[in-house]
Chain A
Amino acid sequence: MTEAAGGNPQLSGLAGSGPTTQSPPAASPNDQGSFSPWGGFSRRSPLAALILQRLALSVALLFAVSLMIFGGVEALPGDFATTYLGQSATPQAVENIRKDLGLDQPATTRYFQWLGGALQGDFGTSWASRNSVSEQIGKRLGNSLFLAFFAALISIPLAIGLGMLAVQFRDRLADKVINVFSLAAISLPEFFVGYLLILFFAVQMGIATFPATVYDGMGFTQRLSAIALPTATLVLVVLAHMMRMTRAAILNVMSSAYVETAELKGLSGLRIIARHAAPNAVAPVINVIALNLAYLVVGVVVVEVVFVYPGMGQYMVDAVTVRDMPVVQACGLIFAAFYIFLNMTADILAIIANPRLRHPR
């Protein structure tokens, strides 16, 4: 059996490449030269090896990001003590403040103190309000997540449904209408959508509340009604992107040779989609969802400002305006962590969904 021993170079090449473009070298079946324990492990169970790699990569990335956020602030011009006190500060006052804020210590010491604190959930005190940053974030993070969660809950099924609809009616009227609307929707700035909704539903029709204030002890339904408009804004903004990407991902699978094979087997349309297209479309669609969730995390910043909603985004923007560095750093790190986490989840789910990696040769 010549071809069994010789192996098909095209196939073995494919087996090594992960779902993303940057496939790590350890997954390549060609590295017969390496006999390290890791090489052996990655050959025996490439799936676990790849997942471990993604996890390690994300941790390293987060560490590098923390360095960048801290070091970037450090390296950039402008003295915070002066900023903090205003232009008229006496040198003595500046000196005192520097000592007070710990700015007289070397940067490395302060970085490790900051990082160590951050890992334990302590982000120091705000320069502006002298309050604990962690306390503020504790309240506001929940609010932001509440908002993002409901936006995701509505937009994900809607986007996938519309994407499938567009594929089903490809190049027909429904698809074209969806295409034009989604093209328009990705062009709208969040604040424009937000104010449009406010003018319409809160001011003119009076059926929604503005501003979207939430406070402790507020009932669940009250909260829901308060976030109705911000959620709608987020959904509208993220929906178009997600739908267009879903449509592209499903179309890609539907035009593959194995779907043609299924059609030539005389299978029903439903079975072709459920049995032959769906398992292969799962990975790209998961990727689309995770990417857009990451986008949602950023989207909350603007929407919170528009609706005066007490979340992380507004906290950060306010802090940037008054140059309240501990708050800016803390918020920046948390946003980046969510972003990295979601991208990592997308990668890992896509790896798991890939049959070539789940069933190594």
Chain B
Amino acid sequence: MRLRAIPLSAWIGIAGIALALFCAIFAPFIAPYGESEIVGDIWAPMGGDFLFGTDNLGRDLLSRLIYGARTTIFVALAATILSFSLGMLLSFVAAVTGGLVDQLFSRFNDLMMAIPTLIFALVVLAVLPQQLWILILVMAILDSTRVYRIGRAVALDVAVMEFVEAARLRGEGTGWIIFREILPNTLSPLLAEFGLRFAFSILFLSTLSFLGLGIQPPAADWGGMVKDNKDGIIFGISAALIPGAAIALLTICINLVVDWLMKRTSSLKGGRGDA
């Protein structure tokens, strides 16, 4: 793998993600003001002391954006990692074991997927107390159904290959077969899928926060910031659009990287055949 081979679009994506991660990690050091510190008038215009202006309570929008990166990325990443671990584990077990276990897992997954994710989340969040870990768990479980489906398909693709059969005939255990034979051959598509799921998690979290069911105030998060400032739109105040744009830009960056990863996977496949 050479750095030269990475296309410009992927570089843009990587740079954008790096910037967002930098903001998230070093938020207290680079934010000019505190997360919920009221520093000026309501909806002060851009420029001057406040690069992006102030919000509906007079808080510095830039500072909240930087702190918001922290919350949004942390929650989305935690949910994605959790959903990925869960979905992968179950799907690989289903693909390798087969039979009744596979049937049971897969039919239950079908059932979960028969309800649209947002609707499912709304029903569940209507009942559960509003706590951060519950939010992460709900997001992770709902998303893991998608991971399960793709994980099972990818694992089955590899599991029917003869080198896996050869390992079985050698007498290897399930652990070896999953981690040494199947997993290394599924990394590329799964990495791309991880990116897709992460982008989806950011959008989903922002949507929930926007609907008032995600992260609760006064903590800053991008979807919630849109909700806070949406009433300004009618007066021509674009404060709500700035966090919205942040969500969009980060998701675009992730998708650019995913797009490259997917192309790379397919070109590896295509490049292997004989002339």
Contacts and interface: CB of A to CB of B under 8 A. Distances in A.
Interface of A: 21-22, 61-62, 64-65, 68-69, 72-73, 76-78, 183-184, 186-192, 195-196, 198-199, 203-204, 210, 294, 297-298, 301-302, 305-306, 316-317, 319-321, 323, 325, 328-329, 331-332, 335-336, 339-340, 343
A21 B153 contact: yes
B264 interface: no
Contacts of A186: 255
B119 interface: yes
A183 B252 CA distance: 7
Contacts of A64: 111, 114
A323 B127 contact: yes
B236 A204 contact: yes
B123 A328 contact: yes
Interface string B209-246: 01111000000000100100010011110101100110
A210 to B, nearest CB: 7
Contact of B211 (A210, A305, A336): A305
Given A69-B115, A325-B127, 8 more contacts: A65-B114, A76-B128, A187-B248, A187-B252, A189-B210, A192-B247, A320-B213, A343-B114
Dominant SS at the A interface?
A: helix
A266 to B, nearest CB: 27
A328 B122 contact: yes
Given A21-B153, A183-B252, A336 B127 contact: no
17 contacts: A69-B123, A72-B123, A77-B128, A190-B207, A191-B244, A195-B244, A203-B234, A203-B235, A203-B236, A210-B234, A301-B119, A301-B122, A301-B211, A302-B211, A316-B119, A320-B211, A332-B119
Is chain B's binding surface mostly helix, strand, loop or mixed? helix
B123 A329 contact: yes
A305 B210 CA distance: 9
Interface of B: 106, 110-111, 114-120, 122-129, 153, 199, 203, 206-207, 210-213, 223, 226, 230, 233-236, 238, 240-241, 244-245, 247-248, 251-252, 254-256, 259
Q: Which 6 A-B pairs give the minimum distances between C-beta atoms? A: A192-B244, A187-B251, A320-B126, A187-B252, A76-B127, A298-B116
Contacts of B117: 298
Contact of B110 (A61, A68, A210, A328): A61
A134 B134 CA distance: 31
Nearest to B249: A187
Contacts of B207: 189-191, 302
B43 to A, nearest CB: 14
A199 B120 CA distance: 31
A198 B207 CA distance: 18
Contact of A61 (B111, B199, B245, B248): B111
Nearest to A57: B110
Nearest to A69: B123
Nearest to A210: B234
B126 to A, nearest CB: 4
B236 A336 contact: no
A73 B123 contact: yes
Given A302-B207, A325-B126, A336 B244 contact: no
Nearest to B112: A68
A192 B245 contact: yes
A61 B113 CA distance: 10
B244 A183 contact: no
Contacts of A68: 111, 115
Contacts of B116: 294, 297-298, 335-336, 339
A182 to B, nearest CB: 10
B212 A336 contact: no
B200 to A, nearest CB: 10
B89 to A, nearest CB: 21
Contacts of B127: 72-73, 76-78, 323, 325
Given A183-B252, A190-B207, A203-B234, A339 B123 contact: no
A332 B123 contact: yes
A284 B97 CA distance: 31
Nearest to B110: A61
Given A76-B128, A184-B252, A199-B238, A65 B119 contact: no
B106 to A, nearest CB: 8
A316 B244 contact: no
A229 B199 CA distance: 26
A17 to B, nearest CB: 14
Contacts of A335: 115-116, 119
Given A183-B256, A184-B252, A186-B255, A320 B114 contact: no
Given A192-B241, A192-B247, A339 B236 contact: no
Contacts of B234: 198, 203, 210
B248 A298 contact: no
